[in-house]
Structure 1
Amino acid sequence: MKYLKLVIQIADEYQESLIAELFDMDFDGFEQRDDQIITYIQKEHFGISDREHIDMLLAAYPGDGFIESEEVVADQNWNQQWEETIKAQTIGRFFIKPTWSQEVVPQDKILLEIDPKMSFGTGYHETTRLILELLPNVISDDDFVIDAGTGTGILSIAAIKLGARHAFAFDIDEWSISNTEENILLNNVNHHIKVEKGSSEVISEKNTADVVLANIERNTILDIFSDLDAALKEGGTLVLSGLLEKDKASIKSVLKEKYQIIAIPQENEWIAIQAKKAES
C-alpha cells in the first residue's frame, strides 16, 4: 500500500489544533518534533483539494508554514508506531503511562493511566507538566474542579486522585470528549467527572468551583476569562497554562483587579500562572 508522508512546519503552540484538523481528514499517526508534525495518509485518499485545504489551514497560522511530501510504500500501522514513542514518565507526584506500557508504578507515585488518541495531554508538553507539578499544592479534599480544554482528561483525573470530590471537564473537540471518557474509565474515576462538549458556555454552575484549570492558548483564555472567573468562588484558585513567557503581561493585566498571583513556574518558553481570587 502506498502512503504519503507529510512533514508540516508549524510552531509548537499551534500543533494540537492542526492535528485535530488532519485527524478529521483521515491522516494516520502523528509525531511531533519541535516545530514539525510528521504524519501519513494513504495516497489514494489524498487529492489536490486536500492539499489546497491544508494550505488554507496553514495560512491561518503565523509564520511561513510549508509542507514537504514523500511517497512511501509500506504495510505499517502508523498509530502503533506513534504509540511506541509514548513512554511512561514521572511528573511530580504522578506516574503517567499508557495501558500498553509494562513499566512498574513507583510506590510513592500516583498512577495516571492515559491512552491518548493524539499526542496532546500525554504529559509530554511543558504546559501539561507545569500544571501537574502545581496540582498537589492546589487541590484539597472535597474540592469541586472545573477543567477547561480538557484534552485527554489528564488534569481532571489527577485532581480526583489528589482528593477532589468532583470535576467538570469540557472541550470543543469531539475527539477530546471521547478520549476523556475513555481515560476516566481507565482510572476508575467516572463517577467523579462529568464531561461535556463545548466552550465556557457549558458551565452551568456559577461561583461554585474551588479550582479552575485552563490549559489553553492565550487568546482563548482571554476570550472566556469572564466565564471562568464567574465560575470560581471567592478565595478559589485559578491555574492557567498553554501560555508563553511573552503572554505573561497580558494575562497579569486581566488578573490584577481580582487575583493575587501565587506562582508563575516556567519550563523553556512556557509558563503557568497560579492565582487566588480575592474575597470581599
Structure 2
Amino acid sequence: MTSWVKFTVSIPDTHQDALVAQLSTAGFGGFVQEDDYIDCYVEKKKWTSGVQTRSREVLQRFAKEYPKLELRTETTDVEDRNWNAEWERSAGIVDATKKIVIKPSWKSLRRRDKGKIVLHIDPKMSFGTGHHETTRVCLRLMEYYVRRGDHVADFGTGTGVLAIAAAKLGASRVIAVDTDSWSFENASENVLRNKAGDRITVHKGSIVALGKRPFDLVVANIDLPTITKFLGRLLTLTRKGGVLILSGLLMTDLVPVLRLINRRSIIPLLLADEGEWIGFALQRT
C-alpha cells in the first residue's frame, strides 16, 4: 500500500486557485480544495527535500504577493485511499466556453449541452479539469485560432484537455507532452475516452519530445518561470505566421510577459482573462 504525505495550507477559497497553480509546479500529485484550506498530496517517497524547499519558496512568494493573508501549514502522513472516489465527489460538468463543456464519465449530459463540443475528461491527479480559470482561458483562445487541419502542440498537457479540445476543434494532428507520469497516463486514457487516438499522440517527456517540425499552433498552460525558460523553443516550434497560446499566468505577470514578448519577433493577437488569470495568443512573424 502506498503511503502519502498531506501538506495542508490554510487559505481562503478566493485565493486557492492561484496558490494551487503555483504549488502544482512544486511536485505534488494532487489537490483537494475545501472552504478555507487546501490539502496537497504527494507520495511519501517523493516528499523529498527538493519538494519541501520548492513548497516553502512558493509560499514565500505568495505571501509577498498577498501580504494580508495569513498562511498556516500542517504536514501529516496518510494511507492510500480510493483517489477516484475523491475526485468523483469534487468534479462536475464545467461550461468551459459558450460552446465547449467538460464532462467526467460519471456525469450525464444536460439538455442544454446538446450541440456543444463535449470533452470527456476523467481526472486522476492531473491539472486541467476545466475548473481552473487558466484552462478556460486557453480554450477560449483556442476557439479563435485552431483551424481545421492544423497541426497542434500541447506543452504540459496535464489531463490532455487542451489536446483533446484541439482535435475536436478540427486539428488533424496533435502532439501532447508532460514530464509527470500521472499526467502522461491520465492524458493517454482521456484521449482514448474521447476516441481521438488517431489524431493525438501523448509523450512522457519535456519539450524535446515535441520534435523539431514547426506546428500551426502551440499551446502552453504552465507558469511564468517555465514560459520564461522555454519561450525561445516554443517560438521555434511555432511556424512563421502560426499562433502561440500562453497561459497559467497571473495578472501580476503581465508586465514581465510583455517584456519577454518585446524582445522577440511576436505580434500580440489577443489577451484573455478570467479572475486574476490571463492568457495570450501571439503570432510568430
Q: TM-score range by the shorter chain?
A: 0.7 to 0.9
Q: Does 1:253 align with 2:254?
A: no
Q: TM-score, normalised by structure 1?
A: 0.82
Partner secondary structure for residue 61 of structure 1: helix
Q: How does 1:261-272 map to 2 (within 5 A)?
A: 261-272=268-279
Name 1:16's counterpart in structure 2: 24
Q: Do structure 1's residue 148 and structure 2's residue 152 form an aligned pair?
A: no
Matched residues in 1 for 2:135 and 2:239: separation?
24
Instruction: Give how far 1:66 is off.
Output: 4.3
1:273 aligns with 2:273: no
CA displacement at 1:77 relative to structure 2: 4.0
Partner of 2:56: 59
Separation in 2 of the partners of 1:6 and 1:77? 18
The answer to which of 238-247 and 196-205 deviates more is: 196-205
SS of the residue corresponding to residue 90 of structure 2 reads coil
Identify the residue that residue 219 of structure 2 maps to in structure 1.
213
Residue 152 of structure 1 and its aligned partner are, at CA, apart by: 0.6
User: Is 1:81 matched up with 2:78?
Assistant: no
Provide the C-alpha distance between the structure 1 equivalents of 2:178 and 2:80, rounded to a whole number of angstroms. 34
Alignment of 1:164-175 (within 5 A): 164-175=171-182
Asked whether the 8 Å contact 2:218–2:238 carries over to 1, the reply is yes
Measure how far apart 1:255 and its partner are: 2.0
Q: CA deviation at 1:253?
A: 2.1
- Match of 1:37, as an amino acid? I
Aligned residues: 263
Cα distance in 2 for partners of 1:275, 1:36 equals 36
**Does structure 1 residue 31 correspond to structure 2 residue 17?**
no
Structure 2 residue 181 is matched with structure 1 residue 180: no
RMSD: 3.1
After superposition, residues 54-203 of structure 1 pair within 5 angstroms as 55-63=52-60, 66-68=72-74, 77=82, 79-92=84-97, 93-104=99-110, 106-118=113-125, 120-203=127-210
Deviation at 1:13, TM superposition (A): 2.6
Give the superposition deviation at 1:16. 2.0
Per-residue deviation, residues 121-155 of structure 1 (Å, max 9, x unmatched): 00111110101112111110100001011111100
- Residue 103 of structure 1 deviates from its aligned partner by 3.1
Question: Which structure: larger Rg?
Answer: 1
Equivalent residue of 1:183, what SS? helix
User: Quick one: structure 1 residues 76 and 267, their matched pair in 2 at CA, closer, same or farther if it must change by over 3 Å?
Assistant: same
Q: Percent identity?
A: 35
TM-score (norm. length: structure 2): 0.81
Letter in 2 for 1:245: M
**Paired residue secondary structure (1:142):** coil
179 and 251 in structure 1: CA distance in 2 versus 1, 3 angstrom threshold: same
C-alpha change, 1:5 and 1:223, in structure 2 (3 Å) is closer
Classify the secondary structure of the residue corresponding to 2:25.
Answer: helix
Deviation at 1:17, TM superposition (A): 3.0
Q: Distance in 2 between matches of 1:115 and 1:254?
A: 35
How far is the alpha carbon of 1:195 from its aligned partner?
Answer: 1.3
Q: Which runs of 4+ in 1 moved over 3 A?
A: 3-6, 33-36, 49-57, 69-72, 74-79
